[in-house]
Structure 1
Amino acid sequence: MTDVTPSRDEPPYRRIVKEIRRRISEGELTPGDPVPSTRRIAQEWGVALATATKALTTLRMEGAVETRPRAGTVVAAAPTTTARARGHRPQGPSTTGPTPAPTEQELTLGRIVRTAIDIADAEGLSALSMRGVAARLGVAAMSPYRYVTSKDDLILLMADAAYGEQSYPGTAPAGWRARAELGARTLWTLHRRHPWLAQLDSLTRPLLVPNLMVHGEWLLSALDGHGVDTTTLFDIHVLLYSHVQGLAVHLEREAHAAATTGQSEDQWMDSRTSDLQALVQSGRFPTFTRVVSSFGDGYDLRLDTLFELGLKALLDGLAPVIEAGGGELHG
């Protein structure tokens, strides 16, 4: 554990900031390299998550680090000046520096929701906290509570905002299948952009927010008008949504696993080579052995490819059901 025992006039987060600045200035961390996450800082320096968040927020506001979706916080692509790296703010106006934090008077619900989405995109939903949002915004810890009563309520607002980022054309494509494909691909795009969305609900306890309903309305209207009974109509709509969510849930899980283990997907697989060889050499799984042995450089699991393959299979299978008025699905 790194020592962050503060001097009488220096809070712990400043010690962390100085140490990460040192690593950057001495080349231990170079542009694009990940810096420790809030959880890693909390563990390494023995501080609270709020302190770790404040340290990263300070570095971000100075321009030393930047947040990239799913990559987390990394050393800024454009190295900061020596003066800024030492904690001195440049004099005079700047058109290229980081956006200044809002004052208490400038704080709005929209800023809070957008900041929370940025945190969840970069570090996962587990890294989200009300204190962390306040620290990222540079306001008092309790300030966000003036606009939203709890983290759970904030997450609902985040989901509604995220699902509202894409809409549909006023003139729909011709044919139920083209409309259903557009609806499914739009949802997949949003889940790709915000992987934490797939963690929020289950099919039995759906997320009831207006902008998700927009996507549901689009899919239902695409399937309606073909003589399909309402139960079958809704079942098909749920199946299409579950295809998106079922694959998207692995986006967040992989990001969390990479952050926890420090290994990429390929590195993790490489570390399991001996286990895979043992299964192949056991002789118990001949089909698996034949298929795996045919890959050469290995199997590349591509979620986008699986999404398209599954969507085509679903719609191919559902086509006679819809076009026959739903009689074959429950018959």
Structure 2
Amino acid sequence: MTQITGPSGQPPYLRIVAGIRRRIADGELAPGDRVPSTRQLAKDWGVALATATKALTTLRLEGLVETRPRAGTVVAGTARTASAPATAPAGAPRRPPAAAPPSEQDLTLDRIVRAAVEIADAEGLPGLSMRGVAARLGVAAMSPYRYVTGKDDLVLLMADAAYGEAAYPAEVPEGWRARVEEVARTLWSLYRAHPWLAQLGSLTRPLISPGLMVHGERMLSALDGHGLAPKALFETHVLIYSHVQGLAVHLEWEAQAEAATGQSEDAWMDDRAGALGDLAASGRFPVFARIVGGFGADGYDMRLDDFFEAGLKALLDGLTPVVEGAAPTGP
């Protein structure tokens, strides 16, 4: 654990700020490098998550770091202010203070939700806390509770806001298949932007959200009017949605795994190349060995975007005779 040092009485979050600032000034952290996450800072410095969040917020307000979705917090493109000492010598002119955080009077439910979404995008849902949101907004720890009852309530509001980011054009595509593809790709883009979103509800215990229902209504409308019985129509809609969500959950799983191990997907696979080679050479799995051997020198690169498109096409190809073979509903 990092030894916390600093002037007597200095708040712990400022000690963390000084430590990160020093690492940037010394070149240990270069522009684009990932800064330790709130959880890692809390562990290393022996502080609460909210304290670590406040430290990163202070660095962000100073322009030293910036938040990038799923990349976490990274050193900003320039770090000119990083060379300033954490504590100026007595009598030295002070650097202009960073922009003051919004006051309590400026706090709104919308700002709370947007701040929470930014944290979840960067840190995942495990990194989200009510105290962390308050620290990010620069308000008292209990202030967000004036607007939401707790984290569970906040997460529902976050989901509704995230699902509401994509609006459909007034002009509807021709044909049921094009309309279904529009909804599926819209949902995939939202899960790409907010990987935590796909983790919130299972098929058997779905998320009850007006924002998500907008997408469901659009897809149900695409499938309606082709003669499918209500049960068949609804289950077809669920089957298509399960393809989108089922792949999307891996976006967050991969992000969490990379954050936990410090390894990219490629690095993780490279470390296990020997074990996979041993399996292929064992003679126990001949089909696997033949297929892997057919990948050639370049190997195989799994891309979830390609899987999404290939799976969507295969699924809709299979559903076409089901949807178009049903008798159209008459007046």
Give yes or no for TM over 0.5. yes
Q: Report the Cα offset of residue 144 of structure 1.
A: 0.5
User: Contact 2:13–2:51 (CA<8 Å) still a contact in 1?
Assistant: yes
Letter in 2 for 1:283: G
Question: Which runs of structure 2 are paired with 1:142-153 in the superposition (5 Å)?
Answer: 142-153=142-153
User: Contact 1:232–1:326 (CA<8 Å) still a contact in 2?
Assistant: no
SS in 1 for 2:67: strand
Matched, 1:304 2:305: yes
Question: Which runs of structure 2 are paired with 1:11-26 in the superposition (5 Å)?
Answer: 11-26=11-26
Matched, 1:247 2:247: yes
Question: Which runs of structure 2 are paired with 1:108-119 in the superposition (5 Å)?
Answer: 108-119=108-119
Runs of 4+ aligned residues of structure 1 deviating over 2 Å after TM superposition are 5-8, 80-91, 98-101
**2: CA distance, partners of 1:264 / 1:215:** 33
**1: CA distance, partners of 2:159 / 2:245:** 14
Q: Assess, with a 3 A threshold, how the Cα gap between structure 1 residues 282 and 61 changes in structure 2: closer, same or farther.
A: same
User: Contact 2:243–2:312 (CA<8 Å) still a contact in 1?
Assistant: yes
Q: Report the Cα offset of residue 191 of structure 1.
A: 0.6
Question: Which runs of structure 2 are paired with 1:1-331 in the superposition (5 Å)?
Answer: 1-4=1-4, 7-81=7-81, 86=86, 89-90=95-96, 100-295=100-295, 296-325=297-326
User: Contact 1:220–1:237 (CA<8 Å) still a contact in 2?
Assistant: yes
Q: Report the Cα offset of residue 108 of structure 1.
A: 0.5
SS in 2 for 1:74: strand
Letter in 1 for 2:205: R
Q: Report the Cα offset of residue 256 of structure 1.
A: 0.3
State the aligned residue count.
321
Q: List runs of 5+ in structure 1 lacking aligned partners.
A: 92-97
TM-score using structure 1 length: 0.93
TM-score using structure 2 length: 0.93
Q: Report the Cα offset of residue 81 of structure 1.
A: 2.6
**1: CA distance, partners of 2:104 / 2:231:** 50
Letter in 2 for 1:11: P
User: Contact 2:24–2:79 (CA<8 Å) still a contact in 1?
Assistant: no
Task: Give me the CA root mean square deviation.
Answer: 1.7
Describe the superposition over 1:161-217 as per-residue Cα deviations: whole angstroms up to 9, x where unpaired. 000001212121111001001011111110111000110000011111111100000
Q: Assess, with a 3 A threshold, how the Cα gap between structure 1 residues 84 and 109 changes in structure 2: closer, same or farther.
A: farther
Q: Assess, with a 3 A threshold, how the Cα gap between structure 1 residues 82 and 156 changes in structure 2: closer, same or farther.
A: closer
Q: Report the Cα offset of residue 298 of structure 1.
A: 1.7
Q: Report the Cα offset of residue 310 of structure 1.
A: 0.5
User: Contact 1:62–1:89 (CA<8 Å) still a contact in 2?
Assistant: no
Q: List runs of 5+ in structure 2 lacking aligned partners.
A: 88-93
Per the alignment, residue 94 of structure 1 pairs with: none
User: Contact 2:220–2:234 (CA<8 Å) still a contact in 1?
Assistant: yes
SS in 2 for 1:67: strand
